[in-house]
Amino acid sequence: MGPVLPTEEAKRRLATTGLFVACGDVVSVNAVKWGHPPFAAVVDGHTLRERTTEITDLGPLATRRELWARNPPGQVTAELQKAVHDLVAGGGGLLVVDGEEDLAVLPLVLELPAGSTVIYGQPGAGVCFLAVDDAAKGRVRTILEGMEARPANHGHQGH
């Protein structure tokens, strides 16, 4: 949904990027290591389904605020949407997802103010920079409206 920049170019671009949120483990840890910690980061502790990230790598964000949400792969749950809202409205920090964080980009675009940026990794390609504006918000609403609604799973209600 935005330009994908190779790592070195992404590193330079972050130096001049205003308010931004990182979605994904590697991109979040790299932004902190490069000296450009994001306003907020959304991670799940995995990269390409392999456990790679220690949350301690994101200590500067976790000390500001640390939230948790469940979100199965391929879904955007109400729990994830509420956690993203709370993360942005509450001044940023770290959101750790139990499941998969990839689609958190969608509620992030809706919650962030116009003029901010969401970055996320494209494995093997680099870092995608998604500018948040009215057009991006409209595209995200269309995507979310087109997703299949599923009832919340509250466990088996056997009698």
pLDDT score recorded for residue 37: 92
CA-based end-to-end distance of the chain: 47
Those residues whose C-beta lies under 8 Å from the C-beta of residue 117, and which sit 6 or more positions away, are 17, 18, 19, 20, 21, 129, 130, 131, 132
CA distance 59 to 66: 10
Higher-confidence residue of 123 and 114: namely 114
pLDDT computed for residue 153 by the predictor: 52
**Average pLDDT of span 39-60:** 74
Helix orientation angle between 25-33 and 7-14, rounded to the nearest 10 degrees: 60
Q: What value does the mean pLDDT take over residues 113-135? A: 94
pLDDT at res. 50: 55
Contacts of 41 (CB under 8 A, 6+ apart): 21, 22, 23, 28, 31, 58, 61, 94, 95
- Name every residue whose Cβ is closer than 8 Å to that of residue 105 and which is 6 or more positions away in sequence: 1, 23, 118, 120, 130
pLDDT exceeds cutoff 80 at 49: no
The distance of Cα 80 from the centroid of its chain, to the nearest Å, equals: 10
DSSP annotation of 19: S
Whether 138 has a pLDDT exceeding 80, the answer reads yes
pLDDT (tens digit per residue) in 53-105: 556 678 888 888 899 999 999 899 999 999 999 999 999 999 999 999 999 99
